[in-house]
Structure 1
Amino acid sequence: MSRFHSYINTTIKLVELYKGDQPFAIFIKSFFSKEKKYGSKDRKHIASLCYNYFRLGFAMRNYSAEQKIKLAVFLCEKESTDFAEKIIPEWHDKISWPLEKKLALVKDQFLIANIFPFSSELSDGITVEKYCLSMLVQPLLFLRIRPQCKVTTTKKLEKSKLDYQLIGTACIQLPAAVNVDDFFIIDKEVVVQDYNSQRVLNYLQVNEDGLLGSIVGNKGIITWDCCAASGGKSILLLDTLKHKLDLTISDIRPGIVMNLHQRFKKAGVKQYNYFIADVGDTNFSPPARDYELIICDAPCTGSGTWSRTPEQLSFFDLEDLKKYSGIQKRIAGNVVSHLKKGGIFIYITCSVFREENEAIAGFIQDTLHLDLLHQEILEGFGRRADSMFVAVFKNKAD
């Protein structure tokens, strides 16, 4: 058996063993740690084949795993290799073609819309064609330059010889494979943050004085990041608002909060409160305090990021959508009850599903009786970035 066919057989073994109960990156790392016969080049090649396989989502379910892998190589790769010449001889000289031209060539056996058979569930403004095309392309890496390090970071960037693009004044676009630790001090100089994740507070920033000016106290705006996770939105908030914050963060996972403490330390965030709790629990009650600004980056399907983690699409079930929608409503109801009159509530997901986006915004407006000021889909397909949803509300003052 040739080395290349051995790669395919190992890929088939891996995708059949994987059950979707953990990120594939963790699963494959564990597999290779036990299988010492694979060198670094082998591991890299096999991992690439696995991810390409998952990028086809629900398509080609009536074909063999080997056939799906071969077509995935043709569609997802851009340069011919010895592997492609051996495994897909009929296509390898066309592998550098534009994706649309490659899709036309294989249209008799592959329909791109079959990657994602949930088009009726998509948020307004997101088409299934764009979504499926994005699944076939690895997203780019994005960094946000922190304002206090703009000059030094820009100089480092100019000297780095990296293949970069500067979007605006603070967003750096890079190839996905760049090891940014070799060039920057992460969290102090730059934050690893997707392009659209950097934009979720734009409405608040542009309208800051009008929205927050009347509620600024002596200690700053009393703010709660209620599903803080790694703390990226809190750091973004601290970097972009002119007003001082009296910040509280919370998350359900103790380990995540411990990591957040370390990240805040590197980022120079010293003054904040925190607690660990399930904010979606029916018996939830935070420390005795109400807030003037609440950010809720809600747990969701993550469907706006599946081009980064394509294995998640293959294991998605519509029942998951109902589960997350229920969690989002409980979280919104619990945290909004601790929003002061005239306060601002920002609801965020990295989802492309209407039931997690517009439907929850409607629930917050109609059932929780907040005024909807702004909502939008931050569509990332054109920039090889994540897609997100953000809605901004104000609690009625009377």
Structure 2
Amino acid sequence: MTTPFPSSHVPAEAPRRQKAGARITLTLASLAMIGPFTIDTVFPAFVRIGDEFGGDDIALQQLISAYLAAFAIMSVLHGPLSDALGRKKVMIGGLTIYLIGMFGAVLAPTLGSLILLRVMQGMSAGAATIVSRVVIRDMFSGSEAQRLMARVMMIFSVAPAIAPILGGWLLLLGDWRWVFAGVGLYGLLVLVATTRLPETLPREARTPLRVGSLLGSLLHVGRSPVMLRVAAASAFGFASQFVFIAGASIVVVRLLGLGEQDFWVLFLPLILGMTSGAWLVGRAADVMDRARLITIGFVGAVLSTGLNLLLVSIAPPFTGGLSWSLLLAVSGPMLIAFSVALLFAPIQLEVLDLFPHERGAAASLGTFFGLVLNALLAGVVAPLVTASLQVLALTALCFAVLGTALWSWHLRAVRAPQEIRVHEPS
């Protein structure tokens, strides 16, 4: 399913390892967890931040959308910079700036300054999360790369569930500033662990550090119809799950009638779905073609989002606390998370393998589409589609259908030239 390149165009690579050790796996997973920790720990603090600064729901949602928008814009550069400077240097530099923005948020005097610091966090966090995916593909290939990506995702899947719970616990220590201090300490530990990672891109394989060269690699990758189709399919597929995370502060408190320590009710089913799906991806690495697994994930996303719409439509009215209606409301998102997990890790490798000599640029642009959509979900879409669980479920279904349609288009476009070659007379 990848685009072939002449061997002369593929740069020399660092020596590959046979298997990923526990330290490398945990470090790469910790880097990936920076994103959900930065987003989800803040949800329980929304009420207190709003009370202190007088912000309404739309203003508070910008704490998420501003971070995601900045993450998306800078994500275009992190990968190409790692192609030029090396993976490790870019990750360490990004984490350092991220920590300045995170600990600076503890001192924010206004909601506007807090949003600006969230922009700073978003601009730098991608250096860790995006480039860490490239490191996986630098070090491993084939089924081992898929297994490691799946293991990283299994650990990463814990973050969206732990993060809001951790945010609620930190609020027990004091005001909302404790949330940013806690995540900052986590980032500091990740920075220390990252310094022990090997550099996976040797100097002779790096691209020149010139604006023209960086923009040229982005243009080469970005104008590929294959990249556009696969990246857009991945973005919409993941959005069918992320819409529940983006609107979590409204879903948990308003639609489910729960409190700021009760975010686990939504996120625990999500983590169960993501973890079990990622486990299955790792088990399927040696027995199933990558494209087939991605297709199964997209079909599952459509079926699970449709089932979720049915469940919330037949659920009895909420009466507060744990109930049958609450169980129906969180079962659907769990199944959606399971289905999305089946496609997420394999489609990341699919993007990286499209451009083996420009993996950093491919990772950046492959991530960019999803991040832009996630930012729109958090800042614009989520406040509009959380009027009821039914509207939210219908939105998730639409995203799943769009992602599946784009992936189907990609499969047809790739198979058409192959079929022509088969039928050509010899």
With normalisation by structure 1, the TM-score equals 0.26
Larger Rg: 1
With normalisation by structure 2, the TM-score equals 0.24
When you count strand as a share of all residues, which structure comes out higher?
1
